[in-house]
Structures are given as structure tokens and as C-alpha cells.
Structure 1
Amino acid sequence: MAAGRPGDPTAGRVSFADYVNENWFPNYVLEASTRQSYRGGLDRHIVPWFGSMKMRDILPTHVREWVHALEAAGVSAANIRQQKIILSAVFATALNDS
């Protein structure tokens, strides 16, 4: 509001998991096979790491730590790239929603 944009000032207080599961995923338009792939990535790689964090508290350093953890766990570079695409879509929508 102070920046001159409308929005809910409490939106960033929701946990990542709640935002993804209650707002983003149910409303994000995807082909059926892509939806299944995204759900798998969210459940296996993304929500376990960011789920309990408040949306407003997630910083680039957290994303870098997550990528390093995926690398250390042996996740392939192609899979990490796909997970980053999903995460980016979540954050882009959250920013537009705020």
C-alpha cells in the first residue's frame, strides 16, 4: 500500500506450503501431464524445503542453499532446472497477487 500498489499487506505472512497448496496450485493453469509433474516436484523437492517458511521471509540466499542441497543429494542438473522453473512460477504469481 505504501508503494502505491493495492494488495493485502498480510499476504506475505502465509507459509509457503499454505500459499502453494491453497492458492497457487489449485488456480495455476497447466496441462494435465505438466500439472502432475509440477505436483511431484513440489512434493519431493520444493515444499519440504520452503514449506514452513513465511513467503515474505524467503530470500535469494535460501534459494541458493536449496539448490546446493539438491546438488548434494544427487539431483540432476536438468531436474534442478525444472524445480527452479516451478519455484519461479510460484514466486512470480505471489508477487503479482500481492
Structure 2
Amino acid sequence: MELQSLRSDYDVNCKWRRTWQLSVDDAPAKRLVWDLSSDEKYANPGTPVRRQLANGFPVIRVAGDSIRLAGTGSSVDGDRPFLDRFDLKTQQADRLYLSKNAW
């Protein structure tokens, strides 16, 4: 299994965030995963679900080639929290849960 890492950069002046998928085994290899305004609420893909190791270090939970993303699910009708399965190879998300009621 190839080790992967997600890294983000943030442009303060433009309020823009890019997230890259990096191969730990092949340092030059990287793929752009998300490229969006930090003010973008409706298209926000969510945040990777993490777990804390015994040493206190947080790591992203991985299941096969997928990670889970959790988000507020902002919409014109209010926030509808969600949980997605995000495939790191295809970069496609499948909705696992969406709150029926807006908060």
C-alpha cells in the first residue's frame, strides 16, 4: 500500500485554498484534489475525518482507497450536515449521510 498525505496551502490575499494529494513514497508526485475559495460555503467538500493515535498525533482515517469527509452542508435552506466517502483514486465522493433537517 502506497502511503498518501493531504496537504493544503492558503492564499490569504485571495482567500483561496488548494488541497493536494501527495505520495509519501514518490515525493514529486502530487494531484490537486480541491481548489476553491475559502468563502465558498455551498460547494465545500468537507473535512477529512481523523482519529487520534496513542501518541496524540491525529491521522486521517483510511478505508481501502477511500477517506470520509464530514461537513456542514451549507445551503440556501440552512446547514444540513453530511458524511461522504471520498475515493482518493477517482476523486469522486459518495454521500453516505445527509441530515434531513436544516439547522
Q: TM-score under structure 2 normalisation?
A: 0.28
Of Structure 1 and Structure 2, the greater strand share is in 2
Q: Which has the larger radius of gyration?
A: 2
Higher relative contact order (CA 8 A, sep 6+): 1
Write 1 or 2 for the structure with the bigger share of helix. Answer: 1
